[in-house]
Amino acid sequence: MATNGSNGHSNHRHPSNDAFDHVVPLLINGKEVTTDTTFDVTSPVTGKVIWKSSSASKQDAIKAVEAAQAAFPAWSKTKPSYRRDILLKASDIMKKRFAECVEYMDIETGSQDNMSAGFNVPSSIEQLKDVAGRIIGVTSYVPVIQDEGKSAIVYKEPYGVVFGIAPWNAPYILGFRAITYALAGGNTCVLKGAELSPRCFWAIGSIMQEAGLPDGVLNVIFHRPQDAAEVTSAIIEHPFVKKISYTGSTATGSIIAAQAGKHLKPVLMELGGKAPAIVLKDADLQKAATQCALGAFLHSGQICMATERIVVHSSIAKDFANALKTACDQIFSNEGPAPILVTALAVKKNKKLVEQAVSKGANIVTGDVNAKESTDTRMRPIVVEGVTKDMDMYHIESFGPTVSIVTFETEEEAVEIANDTEYGLSSSVFTENLAAGMRVAKQIETGAVHINGMSVHDEPNLPHGGAKKSGFGRFGGSAGIEEFLRLKTVRWSD
């Protein structure tokens, strides 16, 4: 993830008057649908309503599913090169609409340039290219079977209608991810975007339409928070829906998985995290401190892979804490307004975690839990040392700009602390000894381990997913397409 020397602040752009004046529409069967029922979209940057969004009803959701089902027979029979060319064209279109997409993300989510323009939009462009390039490589195979005079072929077939649910915090990467792998495999999709950033998800549908995706192959909806259970359940339960992917909180993921399980439907889940960063005693402290600061506080910590606990050898703990404070001061300047979180509740949650830890004996290395900011959605990074198991901060995913330092004596203890969580999405290890780094990495129970790099890392050619309560299945790379293909064995006599 490029930071380009950013100090963590950006000049938030203001959307064009056209965006303000129009209700964000749904996309159903190739048509933009503006509903009578709408909801306000409030920017965390200003605290003011920026536009209204259409809100899908249960009936709208069913229409979206039916449109996807109607489009499936023709789409599933398209040539791989045809699907490839649409994704490549979408990549080119997103590049042309780069500033527009950045504008929507900044105003709807409060993102900064190093998250939107520096990472989210360019990575989505690359994702489209990467998936397009893999489509031709999806092939059936002919196994050798045991009976003479018999033959078989194993086909890879699309499931049908795939229901993808994506969150607000990285709307383009996670929104496109919910559909591109499925579409590449010949599936059709219903994408449900987060109500906090509907214009971003509308842009995904708009780009795919402009690229020539046939009507009904992709349908994009969003809804009021109070309609979530009804709309989501209607789609999961619908007999046309054959697979579900969900990226979001572990609590909601558990509900969705249970509901899908009731109907015996497979799910792909990428859920919450509590990423540890282990700093061994031979680590380059400057490098470790810089990477931990970035991993903890990019996008105000509102990333599922964000570093939440830094596990440091006791002999270097003091020097590391000082280096981390310096890194935070250099990267996330105290000049200007504090970084933005998407809601005031997120700020309250993080302050409460810090206050409870301090009340139990922890110390603040840098940051001020009592600081008064210009809006209640702003908060500066806080580093807390002396965090122990009896503190909520040790266990709970903060999803915000707070990180804790925990010390260890032995390598075994470091691994034990890193694994002492219900989550298992991402992690880091810092050391100048590659053998030690590999040895520790193999013992950490996460879907990814980054040696001498921050825990926040995602690129389209690598499998991405978690262990334990961080989910199951994989987006990314060839594994991402395989997730949306099922095998069919056809056997015959010669």
Q: What is the DSSP string of 6-47?
A: --S--------HHHHHSPBPEEETTEEE--SSEEEEE-TTTS
Burial of 336 (0-12, 13-18, 19+ CB in 10 A): exposed
CA count, 13 A, side-chain hemisphere, 48: 4
Rounded Cα distance, 155 and 135, in Å: 15
Close Cβ partners of 137 (under 8 Å, ≥ 6 residues apart): 478
At residue 190, φ and ψ (nearest 5 deg) are: -120, 120
* Cα Rg of the chain (Å, integer): 23
At residue 483, φ and ψ (nearest 5 deg) are: -60, -25
Please report, for the chain, how many H helices and E strands are present, in that order: 16, 19
Long-range contacts of 249-257 (CB under 8 A, 24+ apart): 250/397, 250/422, 250/423, 250/469, 250/470, 250/471, 253/471, 256/165, 256/232
Rounded Cα distance, 289 and 275, in Å: 15
Strand, helix or coil at 183? helix
- Residue showing tokens 């890392």: 457
Give bridge partners of residue 93 from the DSSP assignment.
none
Task: Give ∠ CA 380-385-386 in degrees, rounded to 5.
Answer: 150
Nearest to 175, CA basis, from 187, 185, 189, 160 = 189
Written as six digits, the tokens of 463 are 């499998």
CA distances from 228 to 50, 134, 144, 256, 262 (A): 22, 34, 49, 11, 18
270 noted as active-site residue:
yes
Close Cβ partners of 141 (under 8 Å, ≥ 6 residues apart): 153, 154
Residue tagged active-site, from 108, 270, 397, 482: 270
Indicate which residues carry an active-site annotation.
270
